[in-house]
Amino acid sequence: MNIAFDAKRAYQNNTGLGNYSRTLISSLATYFPQHSYYLYAPKLTGMYTTATYTNMQSVLPEKRLHRWFRSAWRSKYVVGELAAKGIDIYHGLSHEIPFGIHESGVKSVVTMHDLIFERYPAQYNPIDVQTYRRKAKYACQYADKVIAISEQTRQDLIHYYKTPAEKIEVVYQSCDESFATAHDAASIQKMKEQYGLPASYFLYVGSIIERKNLLGILQAMQQLKGEVDLPLVVLGGGTGYKDKVKAFAQKHGLSERIIWLNEKARIADADVPLLYQGAEALLYPSIFEGFGIPILEALWSRTPVITSAGSCFGETGGDAALYVNPLQPATIADAMKKVLNEKPFAEEMRTKGWTHAQLFSREKCASAVMKVYESL
């Protein structure tokens, strides 16, 4: 088969959607080398390269008009090229497919990660909500198959867009295989020294936005003052909500215990697995997610996970995570104490986490996606 992807985020996004795109494309090319893969992208960057794959190539806009209006090329005009080049399946990797593709004869698949903008529209610009909704509803209506990255997302698609249940396949995502490599104590210590990190710390990974609830962690830390004074390392960026978190930390004497890693240095991708493995636990008390990829990265890293009950978190964390009420900081505080003070329990979490992570291997993810393609 000739399989094409909307590869914009593979080349331009360095967080969740980009990681999903890069991991899936590489996995498919690795485990199903008999097919040809075409990465349609408005522009190329150093975030991804096809050089190591003989069955993969990038496709850029060629016509002058399309180079001038790359967004329009990606969202509409690419359709004619797909049909002309003999593409069998086009996969929109993040919530959208080109308008008009359902009339081209090219089969299409779309991955829907979440409908958070429908659940919490007040947290978005109203114009953005309208744009996201238009693209997502079109994709769910006209794609031949919809991939939901969790059962939670599948249920949201049925609820908000009335997408037929039989059209949706739940295919869990994987993460970069580097997280599965266990590093020795000396390597982890070297990483800590390089970035000026303490011997022990809790870890937060993710965008610093209200929904991800970093403030809830600080409220838990405030309750633990004098009892558990472990620092928190924060890997992620933000603006307005970050200012709110910093103000809370300043008011309650927590500023010295928060390490804003992005403000210290840009951590190398190769060091992120060591950052996880050096942590006492990942704190991820988010209010709502489509999947929660940091949970999976932590499980592969054999790092205990403290996350929220509800949403998709039970799907991702299974029996390996410690679940809290994200709106009750006292439950976050209790979980932090439990992981620190009950060493056998923490060790059991590491073992269970590694076992549960095997359900989300790159090969299993790629095989499930390929099964979707073959069903068309």
CB 256 within 8 A of CB 284: no
pLDDT in tens, 238-252: 888 999 999 999 999
- What is residue 77's DSSP assignment? I
pLDDT of 62: 83
pLDDT in tens, 56-105: 999 998 888 788 888 888 988 899 999 899 999 999 999 999 999 999 99
**Domain covering 2-174+361-374, topology:** Rossmann fold (3.40.50)
**Do 177-359 and 2-174+361-374 fall under one CATH topology?**
yes
**Which CATH architecture fits 177-359?**
3-Layer(aba) Sandwich (3.40)
Displacement of CA 47 from its chain's centroid (Å): 16
* Distance from C-alpha of 206 to C-alpha of 330, rounded to nearest angstrom: 22
pLDDT in tens, 112-168: 999 999 998 988 889 999 999 999 999 999 999 999 999 999 999 999 999 999 999
Tell me what the mean pLDDT of segment 254-263 comes to.
93
Helix (H) / strand (E) element for 3: namely strand 2-6
pLDDT in tens, 266-321: 898 899 999 999 999 999 999 988 888 999 999 999 999 999 998 789 899 999 99
pLDDT in tens, 360-373: 999 999 999 999 99
If you average pLDDT over every residue of the chain, what do you get?
93
CB 306 within 8 A of CB 205: no
Q: How many CA atoms lie within 13 A of 88 on its CB side?
A: 11
Burial state string for 288-307 with b = 16 or more CB within 10 A and e = fewer than 16: bbbbbbbbbbbbbbbbbbbb
* Distance from C-alpha of 295 to C-alpha of 326, rounded to nearest angstrom: 15
Q: How big is the CA angle at 35 (ends 31 and 39), to the nearest 5 degrees?
A: 95
Provide the terminal-to-terminal Cα distance of the chain, rounded to the nearest Å. Answer: 11
The domain spans of the chain are 2-174+361-374, 177-359
